[in-house]
Amino acid sequence: MLVGKALALVGVDACYATDAITTLTTAKIHVTRSSNGAGSTTTPLIDTTDRGPNEAACRTYALPDPIPLLPQDDVALEFDVDYSANAGFFHAGRATFILSAM
């Protein structure tokens, strides 16, 4: 809640950089709804567009529909990266979760 209003997750704006031998293969947004016990995780967005090599960018990953958040919910961004050699690098920069008042 923010100033008495419930929030919804709308998306994530994230920055990254790859080098000549790495590719960002998948970006995922996860929402874990905690309850009694372990809770449950959903993945409302999976982007399988290959990004790279040699790419530095900030992208907005927008959800198809806003997801109302409860006070105990967790949100996460996951990057899957293909390293074609041990010498490659992937730099995950800032991630800004975009929320909207409901």
Does a cis peptide bond (omega within 30 degrees of 0) precede residue 66? no
Q: Which of 26, 37, 33, 3 minimizes the C-alpha distance to 81?
A: 26
List, for residues 90-99, the tens digit of each pLDDT value: 999 999 999 9
Dihedral sign from CA coordinates of 94, 100, 101, 102: negative
Tokens describing residue 102: 């409901």
Phi, psi (degrees; rounded to nearest 5) at 21 = -125, 20
Cβ-Cβ contacts under 8 Å for 60 (sequence gap 6 or more):
11, 12, 13, 98
What percent of the chain clears pLDDT 90, i.e. is strictly above it? 73
- The yes-or-no verdict on residue 46 having pLDDT over 80 is yes
Q: Which residue has the higher pLDDT, 47 or 53?
A: 47
**Residue 101 to residue 56: CA distance in whole angstroms:** 31
Average pLDDT, integer, range 49-63 = 96
